[in-house]
Chain A
Amino acid sequence: MKVLVPVKRVIDYNVKVRVKADQSGVDLANVKMSMNPFDEIAVEEAVRLKEKGKATEVVVVSIGPQQASETIRTALAMGADRGILVKSDGAVEPLAVAKILKAIVDAEQPQLVITGKQAIDDDANQVGQMLAALLGWPQGTFAHALELGDDTAKITREIDGGLQMVEVKLPAVMTTDLRLNEPRYASLPNIMKAKKKPIEEKTPADFGVDVTPRFKVLKVAEPPKRAAGAKVASVSELLDKLKADGVI
Chain B
Amino acid sequence: MASLVIAEHDNVSLKDATHKSVTAAAAVSSPVHILVAGENCAAVADAAAKIAGVGKVLLADSALYARMLAEPMEVLILSLADSYDAILAPATTTGKNILPRVAAKLDTPQISEILKVISPDTFERPIYAGNAVETLQAPEGKKIITVRTTAFKAAVEGGSAVIEKISAASDPGLSKFVSEALSKSERPELTSAKTIVSAGRGLGSGENFKLLDSIADKLHAAIGASRAAVDAGYAPNDYQVGQTGKVVAPELYIAVGISGAIQHLAGMKASRVIVAINKDEEAPIFQVADYGLVADLFKTLPEIDEELSKRGYK
Contacts and interface: CB of A to CB of B under 8 A. Distances in A.
Interface of A: 11, 16-17, 19, 26, 93-95, 98, 120-134, 136-139, 141-142, 144, 154, 157-169, 172, 177-179, 214-223, 226, 228-232, 234-236, 238-239, 241-242, 245, 247-248
Given A95-B103, A162-B238, A242-B275, A217 B304 contact: no
Interface string B203-247: 000000000000000010000000100110000111000011010
B61 interface: no
Interface in B159-188: 172-183
A16 B179 CA distance: 40
A123 B129 contact: yes
A138 B122 contact: no
A159 B286 CA distance: 30
A138 B96 CA distance: 15
Given A129-B104, A162-B180, A166-B69, 11 more contacts: A17-B131, A123-B126, A123-B127, A128-B100, A144-B237, A159-B238, A161-B238, A169-B174, A178-B244, A215-B137, A231-B286
A216 B313 CA distance: 52
Contacts of A154: 178
A178 B92 CA distance: 17
A162 B137 contact: no
Nearest to A161: B182
Contacts of A214: 109, 138-139
Contacts of A125: 96, 100, 112-113
Contact of B294 (A17, A126, A231): A231
B193 interface: no
B7 to A, nearest CB: 14
30 contacts: A17-B129, A94-B100, A95-B110, A123-B128, A126-B103, A128-B100, A133-B101, A134-B104, A138-B172, A158-B93, A158-B237, A164-B179, A165-B179, A167-B176, A167-B178, A169-B175, A178-B237, A215-B139, A217-B135, A219-B135, A220-B135, A222-B132, A226-B274, A230-B290, A231-B292, A231-B294, A232-B293, A238-B275, A242-B273, A248-B195
Contact of B71 (A126, A138, A178): A138
Contacts of B55: none
Nearest to B101: A133
Q: Give chain B's interface secondary structure class.
A: mixed
B104 A160 contact: no
Contacts of A163: 180-182, 237
Interface string B270-306: 0011110000010000111111111000001001100
Contact of A26 (B99, B111, B132): B132
Contacts of A220: 127, 132-135
B264 interface: no
Given A123-B112, A222-B132, A229 B100 contact: no
Nearest to A96: B109
A137 B74 CA distance: 12
B157 interface: no
B127 A238 contact: no
B189 A161 contact: yes
Given A123-B128, A242-B252, A235 B293 contact: yes
B104 A137 contact: no
Contacts of B13: none
Interface centre among B101, B137, B230, B289, by most chain A C-beta atoms within 10 angstroms, is B101
A159 B105 CA distance: 24
A17 to B, nearest CB: 4
A98 B130 CA distance: 24
A221 B135 contact: yes
Given A238-B293, A239-B307, A242-B275, A129 B175 contact: no
Interface in B96-123: 96-105, 107-113, 122
